[in-house]
Amino acid sequence: MCGINGIFAYHYAANPVDRSELLRTRDHMAARGPDGKGEWIANDGRVGFGHRRLAIIDLTDGGAQPMASDDGSLIITFNGEIYNYRELRQDLEAEGHVFRSNSDTEVLLHLYAVKGEAMVHELRGMFAFAIWNNKRGEVFLARDPYGIKPLYYADDGWTLRFASSVKALMAGGRISTDPEPAGWVGFYLFGSVPEPFTTYREVRALPAGATLLVDAQGPQMPHRYFSIAAICAQSDGELATSYKVHNAQKQTRAALIDSVRAHLVADVPVGAFLSAGIDSGALVGLMRDVGQEDVTTVTLAFDEFEGQHDDEAPIAAEVAHHFGTRHHRRLVTEREFQDDLPLILEAMDQPSIDGLNSWFVSKAARELGLKVAISGLGGDELFGGYPSFSDIPRWHRLLAVPSRMPFLGEAARWAITAGRTFWPGLNPKSAGLIKYGGSFAGGYLLRRGLFMPWELEMVMDPAMARDGLQRLEPLHHIRQALDPMPQSSFAKVATLEASLYMRNQLLRDTDWASMAHSLEVRVPLVDSHLLVTLNAARRAAGGLDGKTILAMSPAKSLPDTVIHRLKTGFTTPIATWLQRDKRAERWKKRSSLTSSYCPWARRWAYSVGAA
């Protein structure tokens, strides 16, 4: 896990690479890679790469980056882990390739030399990388299927710049700070900035599961090589017929074992985040099943929750004892939150209403000496653990016809909005139920939205709100995630949650929060190989609850106290802390964030509950 960046002056009249800019961008990501740093600039000065290293695989200098091929024609800067690198290396060695290190980075170089851009189809892992091809005079950028690892780029028509974080790009000092209205509107709608937008007009995220080729003419259009919707649509049809209901549990366990084993590939110890939920508990059990004898687990606790249902520590301790882990309970206090808040805001790469739990559990894991931790993120999206899996299909059944009646949705919205004057307790989202509830895209906006589109002019600059809505087109943005359209209601919602909420919020928050503590977080339930197998098995399971399948997957199934515990999601007492902390607003103003983030502070407590 690392931080990468680069500059490519592709236009013949562009200024050559400024080494000081390259290093400013690179070193802004020092926390992402405290174990080493490097840079490379081509002899003609037209292209340069930077790298900050967190050594996980091949801890020697042989894994240092940027890394060059033997003949110097290929240069790579790489962030992430390739879990099947050993198998790929064996195949390449059988074809005559000679390796000089034990790193997965070198495997990428050899694989690109053989397969070119098609190499991405061979990779299992989380990754974002750039390869300079000197013979062709082009840069090849790639990002993993789910978008676990971030990659941002900016193009001014002369020079392309890229990095692992938006703030690092801006630290280079050569990118316009003009705001992107679509990014800000997306934040107020969803609580996170929807890719490919950022909060800056000139900066874009390379979409998940996409590649980008940049040559002397500049960047081409991103090429999508992986689609969650396409996998789910396929699973609804031909794949599901190959499974029987009685095989669902067996197939699920085999697929999960395969994913967990792959995600344990490392040259350093791998620990785990452990909550009171099924996802993390099942993964810890599976870690033991694949032979991990010494497992370190960590759980967060808060004095405010002691003795309450929200206190996950007692059940997490029970699960740890159940699987025989070296368990640690980490208490987070209000004072620590107050002290860390400026650091949190500084580390947050793009505005978000979440990420506090990731910050503190990553901090706790690093205090224990861990460099890698397993997380249960992705289980709800894969096994249907959110209320959206029941709410959105129900709204669609009830409101599909009314929502198509001309003017009815708008009339209901105006009537309910006006009625809130007399019934202030009425949920503001109810005004959009008929307008949006009749489609899966509209229902998703209703379920995940913090504000409705017509409310935006009241909470942000009205002109920016109007411009941002036109640029983002929220319903169109959501519908794009359903292309091609999966058949079942479950698959539709699973696709939306994984492609939008998980990608734009959960994965992004996990990345910035963990990287601030130089910790690599791995997510075995967010794996393209696992998705292909489990979509079919899950569909064949009929009425069997998906989370029950997950809970029963370890050889030693989870305790009943976990399986039958009422789901609450991971919560923190930050709402109370923020209300009591009069310094919060002052801290935000002193941070390097723009003043536009200030509404986030005022809305944070509400937003966490609304999400």
Categorize the per-residue pLDDT at 182 as very low, low, confident or very high, splitting at 50, 70 and 90: very high
Q: Is the full-model pTM beyond 0.85? A: yes
The pLDDT tens digits for 73-87 are 999 999 999 999 999
In the chain, pLDDT over 90 holds for what percent of residues? 76
CB under 8 Å to 458, separation ≥6 — which residues? none
Categorize the per-residue pLDDT at 307 as very low, low, confident or very high, splitting at 50, 70 and 90: confident
Residue with more model confidence, 349 or 400: 349
Tell me the one-letter amino acid at 204: R
The pLDDT tens digits for 114-126 are 999 999 999 999 9
The 3-class secondary structure across 465-508, one letter per residue, is: HHHHHHHHCHHHHHHHCCCCCCCCHHHHHHHHHHHHHHHHHHHH
Strand order in the sheet with 520-522: 326-331, 296-301, 270-273, 372-374, 520-522
Helix 356-367 / helix 334-347 crossing angle, nearest 10 deg: 100
Superfamily of domain 2-226: Aminohydrolase, N-terminal nucleophile (Ntn) domain (3.60.20.10)
Domain with CATH 3.60.20.10 in the chain: 2-226
Domain with CATH 3.40.50.620 in the chain: 229-383+505-573
Cα(203)–Cα(189) distance, integer angstroms = 20
Cα(490)–Cα(393) distance, integer angstroms = 8
pLDDT of residue 249: 82
CATH code of 229-383+505-573, in short, is 3.40.50.620
Tell me the one-letter amino acid at 602: R
pLDDT of residue 549: 87
Q: Are 203 and 152 in contact (CB under 8 A)?
A: yes
Does the pLDDT at position 599 exceed 50?
no
The pLDDT tens digits for 210-224 are 999 999 999 999 999
Rg of the chain over Cα atoms, rounded to whole angstroms, equals 24
pLDDT of residue 303: 86
The pLDDT tens digits for 55-75 are 999 999 999 999 999 999 999
Categorize the per-residue pLDDT at 543 as very low, low, confident or very high, splitting at 50, 70 and 90: very low
Cα(176)–Cα(159) distance, integer angstroms = 13
Categorize the per-residue pLDDT at 611 as very low, low, confident or very high, splitting at 50, 70 and 90: very low
Average pLDDT, the chain: 89
Cα(457)–Cα(525) distance, integer angstroms = 38
Write b or e for each residue in 556-566: b if 16 or more Cβ atoms lie within 10 A of its Cβ, otherwise e.
Answer: ebbbeebbebe
Cα(326)–Cα(272) distance, integer angstroms = 10
